[in-house]
Structure 1
Amino acid sequence: MRYFLAILALILSTSLKAEERSYGSLLVRENSPNTVYVIDEIKSGDSFELRKALRNHDVKHIVLASPGGNVFEALQMAGIIHDNKLLTYVPRGAECASACAFLFFAGNERLSDGQLGVHQAYSRDASSKRKVGETEYLTQFTVSEIIGFLNEFGTPPFVYERMFEGLEMYYFDPLELMEINSDTFSLKSDTLRPVTKFTLTKLKKRKARSAETKETKPAKKVDTVQVVKFIQSRLNEIGCAAGPADGLWGRKTEAAVKRFARLAEITPPNMPDFSADFLQKLEAAPNGYCPKIAVKQSPKKIVKSNGQPKIKDLSGKWRMVAHCTNGLGVLFGRATLSPSETSKKNQPIYNVKYMNDRSQYATGHLYYNPEKDSSRIVLHFGGFSINANLKFRNGIYQGFDANGCRLEVEPY
């Protein structure tokens, strides 16, 4: 029996390894051969391994979570990435630092949702004994050669100032990343989510395997006040009404951020974790992006006539966001409401047709109570349902259902 278990364990171990293929310090997953992962330290010979990976797979994306490494190899790899017009991505929760940054800047399209760090290259004492995998420093390259590579990649000039101002690692803040990242990035969130999950899992395992605890430099503290001021100013410019640009994260700012996120169909950020995607879309949004709440179909305060509540007409197009904790995540969708034949005079019923950003369709009903200015919405999907009571607050209907979904519904 023990021999059987040992053989079974060996087979399982072999099958798991078969799902991943190593190219030096690089990694390719068999179920996503378009992506090369650079998670470990960059070592001598990795540029050759990268070319081999490109020959064996239809590589289009480079995912970066490396602490750095061999400068010579990193610049060679950066040139290969640039020549092949590959996309580069640093997942949220990951760090691409030192020589790894050269690979990031080489991307035809680039996006860093994680930390991107640079520092001044320097030379070690020539008498010190080099170990395999240790970084080769500026003795092999002049500053002008590094700048030559970065110029070819279209790197913003301020990056050079940060890179050469000191030996300590400098981590770019969210506003700087917004300038460094490409204006467009082809990979969508449904592709980035599994990439991020796999990268963070590998990083966790690498940390657990590490025999020595390495003391790392703390990340540069982000000036949160300035970032919040920028967000408040932009939100006010596009009509989202964030209040005074004072750098204080209050209820009005948070409400404006959530409103913008609903319109942009992205997940609202949590202060101070502002994603590059959020800041880029905020920067690109035109004036008037957030429409005034008092639009034609916007619900108004109930006006009673002869003791009876005024009944609103809720028919039309509505935007609905569901924040679910039951594994569904965040659902962005649009719904069309039309009066139902079963409506009652004092309690209108509307037919609802809904579609979300995952191309999931649902039908159902909305029951409106004019006495309390509240509603109950019931939607039936293929494998689940949403049943929530909604109350009108701050210009939108909000509520929760028993499945752990928080709904926000507003006309558009």
Structure 2
Amino acid sequence: MHPKALRIEDFTYDLPEDRIAQFPLEDRDASRLLVYRNGALSEDIYRNIAAYIEPGTMVVFNQTRVVHVRLLFYKETGARIEVFCLEPDSRYADINTALNQNGSVYWRCLIGGAAKWKDGQELSLYDEAAGVRLSALLIGRGEGYFTVKLSWTPESMSFAEVLQLFGKVPLPPYMQREVKDDDKERYQTIYAKEEGSVAAPTAGLHFTEGIFRSFDAKQVTREYITLHVGAGTFKQVKTEHIGDHEMHAEWIEIDTAFVEKLIAAPARAAVGTTSLRCLESLYWIGVKLLHHIPVNWNANAVEQWDAYTLPQDVPVSDALQALLAYLHASCTDGRLSTRTQILIAPGYRVRVVKQLVTNFHQPGSTLLLLIAALIGDDWKELYEYALEHQFRFLSYGDGCLINIAGT
């Protein structure tokens, strides 16, 4: 069956509100770990995860850094208007370019209280201690978003610096609480580096320097890619069939050194669905290059259904070698920044990795479809076990290590 024909109602489950973790544990690596291998389940904690990863494995982490993209403005009447910065306007080549703009920037946003914000009305914030003023002007409406022009003084500041000053941590919508001081640190991985995400790659929140030392002792290597997580990661599938759902696109960034290490690795594991989606996208980009199929670098290098229509039997090494050759020939700095819209659902065969570390996902989400693609109907048993044994769910919750069938 082609994934387009799948019904989302077959990928739902009952998630009680009290099972959604509202706060992180005191110790990151004390979170519980549910291990899946060949249909069998066992329990442990993240602190011991190295015991389940073979020596020589290359573990890939998403080093994206969450940006404080929630801006709270107040009108003279006292009415609050929340501007949630989704992604830069299409006039910018990538997220980094947009975040480094000085003086003003155009951003696609969600707006809470949009009916109270009239066209042409300027909203502003002022930080007296820093001497910084931020203004917002609503200039357009798109499908599912508003375009806002944000301007600030002094103009020498970058937009990233402005967001750090005025923005709030963008906790997921299912955490119906105000942001706490601890969230600034805990809703960020310890290895976060490249700014650009509006949501954390939450599987990585459990990792600590102690775990990394246990990896080193076992000769498990660590490498980093960047996929900037968009708000679309929380987007529920509202269509009856998956074929009618438009998958969100996200920015990915890699370089030649990473691809060389990826090719050389005897085994690979991904921390988080974002890392997995990035790695699999690299494979399909390589397939396109190998078969001289045009790649739309300025939009989505991997489209939603590419993985089901492109040639299916290309060896991983051949596809990655084709990508590496392109990087050497066409990217003067050895770096590639583009977008992927890949949708991984039952019917998909994972190529690049053998293991996935991930949290428990929302019912009826594309992330749950991804889990079902890896282990088939066993996802139901895994989630039922987690619910019955009091595992904590979603971003600040516990997680699992999945050994992928057939890899």
Q: TM-score, normalised by structure 1?
A: 0.22
Rg larger for = 1
Per the normalisation by structure 2, the TM-score is 0.22
Larger RCO: Structure 1 or Structure 2 (Cα < 8 Å, ≥ 6 residues apart)? 2
